[in-house]
Amino acid sequence: MNAIDLIITVCAVLSPATCEERHLVFSSDVSPRQCVMAAQPYIAQWAGEHPKWTAVKWRCEYPRANDKADNGEVAPVG
């Protein structure tokens, strides 16, 4: 299985100008395009677990060696 990074840009609910990127790792054999299309349930789950943040955009990429996922989370896709 290959890993794909789901990179979510999130902004603080109480301070919408305060934004950052969060990386979640998908453990799957899908393309970045397929990852983007399948990401919404995982983003909704993340948002439900982090109510002080709201997701504003996302993308998927193959991970680079120096990237690390938030809290080592791995979400299966498909």
Q: What is the pLDDT of residues 23-74, one digit of tens each?
A: 988 777 788 888 888 899 999 999 999 999 999 999 999 877 655 555 444 4
Question: What does the alpha-carbon distance between residue 18 and residue 78 come to, in Å, rounded to a whole number?
Answer: 32
Count of structural domains within the chain = 1
The residue segments making up the domain with residue 23 are 3-76
The distance from CA 4 to its chain's CA centroid, rounded to whole angstroms, is 10
Which pLDDT value is given to residue 12?
97
Question: What does the alpha-carbon distance between residue 55 and residue 41 come to, in Å, rounded to a whole number?
Answer: 12
What is the pTM assigned to this prediction?
0.73
Residue 10 — pLDDT band, cuts 50, 70, 90?
very high
